[in-house]
A and B are shown apart, each in its own frame.
Chain A
Amino acid sequence: MSYQEKRSIVSILSGIVLLAAYCLYTIGKYQKGLVVPGDLKFWATTILVFIGIGIVAFIVIQIVFHIMLSISIAVSKAVKDGNYDDKEIEKAIKVDMVEDEMDKMIELKSLRFGFAVAGFGFIGGLVALILNYSAVVMLNIIFISFSVGSILEGFVKIYYYRRGLNHG
């Protein structure tokens, strides 16, 4: 499995954990009766806090992932070749982690898919308003669709890395 595929899996998992945490937190609060119906301030605060947590968690997870990956490459190289040459290991890590034209193209294709899901979520939110659901429902549909979009983006990336990509 390549570095890019592993990175996609890590971002999918962090996205799933964040979405699950948001659902558990909000459903828990709702079941305990701590949420006043139609309290937009509570939902806006919760979503903003979770966006903040998500950004920080993503950065931390990516740093930990890169450290772990570098260690695993260094260990496997040392075990395979028998010697521990720092420059060779550094070179192997750099070659694995370089971002090139194929990565950029796959990134663009997956981003397009993610934005399409988020866009459908936005339309869904507007439809919910037309159908007389509260603004809270719309807010949640939009937030969840953005989160699901970013998770699916990771799956699309893995799909293209496995299947390949041809122009035209």
Chain B
Amino acid sequence: MAKKYIITNNIRTLRFFANEMTQQDLAEKAGVSRQTIIAVEAGKYSPSLELAFRIADVFGVSIGEVFTCEVKVEEGKKQ
């Protein structure tokens, strides 16, 4: 049985509670392009650990509050 790690994030919610911070503002503060923030927020790109920490740092929260991981067990597949 293989385990699949699905990473989700709360960036949209955190942006809302940070005075409706724009994606551009977040991109600027995290030092990446707006395209990357859009992709991370949509779950289309898993950021590096460094970028994940930088995003968490922008909101002043721990990394676990920004990103959560769901483990799915796939039957019939070797790990």
Contact = CB atoms under 8 A, between A and B. Distances in A.
B39 A164 contact: yes
Contacts, number: 57
A95 B34 contact: yes
Which 10 pairs between the two chains have the least Cβ-Cβ distance?
A164-B44, A100-B32, A2-B35, A102-B36, A98-B33, A166-B46, A167-B46, A165-B45, A164-B45, A100-B36
Interface residues of A, number: 20
Contact of B24 (A92, A100, A102, A103): A92
Interface of A: 2-4, 91-92, 95-103, 161, 163-167
Interface residues of B, number: 19
Nearest to B30: A100
Interface string B20-54: 00001001100111111001001111111011000
Contact of A161 (B28, B34, B35, B48): B35
Contacts of A100: 31-33, 36, 51
Nearest to B5: A168
Contacts of A163: 44
A95 B36 contact: no
